[in-house]
């Protein structure tokens, strides 16, 4: 099912610019609004989403706002480990990610049940299923890798 997705061109710090590096895009900084690179650096990415660098281009730019060297890279939505209902855990399936109503804030699976970079209602492809997860709330959960897919 994995459809060919077009990478997004953006800028990251030189130290971060390695193929395979994943990062959480936090949005623009306090000095970004007047920058000539605003559109390509931060506005073409969605805040609070996780992206993975798939290509490092042979081009750097100087960020005057933060006095640092930035590398031009291509990114895609990253694969995100998540816990989903066992009945949805089918490789290749496209699901609507839902956040469960859970009262166990200190659970060992908290990061997987509430993954950074995904929101309730996101349309995601199940890339692989790795294991069953114990749940004190008696939910039947599987650990999977998800990647957001565009709405067609």
Between CA 44 and CA 51 the distance in angstroms is 12
pLDDT tens, per residue, the chain with 152 residues: 555 679 999 999 999 999 999 999 998 888 888 888 999 888 999 999 999 999 999 999 999 888 999 999 999 999 999 999 999 999 999 999 998 888 877 888 999 999 999 999 999 999 999 999 998 888 899 999 999 997 76
Q: For 18-79, give the DSSP string.
A: -TT-EEEE----TTGGG-TTHIIIIITS-TTEEEEEEEEEEEEEEETTTTEEEEEEEEEEPP
Q: Which residues pair with 125 in a beta bridge?
A: 94, 147
Q: Please name which of 51, 43, 54, 45 lies closest in space to residue 24, comparing C-alpha atoms.
A: 51
CA atoms within 13 Å, Cβ hemisphere of 6: 3
The domain segmentation of the chain, as residue ranges, is 8-77, 80-148
């Amino acid at each position: 099912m994995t459809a060919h997705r077009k990478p997004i061109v953006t800028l990251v710090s030189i130290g971060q610019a390695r193929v395979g590096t994943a990062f959480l895009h936090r949005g623009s900084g306090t000095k970004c609004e007047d920058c000539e690179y605003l559109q390509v650096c931060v506005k073409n990415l969605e805040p609070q989403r996780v992206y993975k660098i798939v290509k490092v281009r042979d081009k750097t730019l100087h960020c005057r706002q933060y006095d640092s060297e930035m590398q031009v890279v291509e990114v895609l939505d990253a694969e995100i480990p998540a816990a989903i209902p066992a009945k949805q855990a089918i490789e290749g399936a496209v699901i609507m990610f839902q956040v469960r109503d859970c009262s166990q804030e200190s659970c060992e699976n908290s990061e997987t049940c509430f993954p950074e970079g995904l929101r309730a209602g996101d349309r995601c492809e199940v890339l692989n299923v790795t294991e069953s997860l114990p749940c004190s709330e008696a939910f039947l959960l599987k650990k999977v890798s998800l990647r957001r897919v565009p709405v067609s």
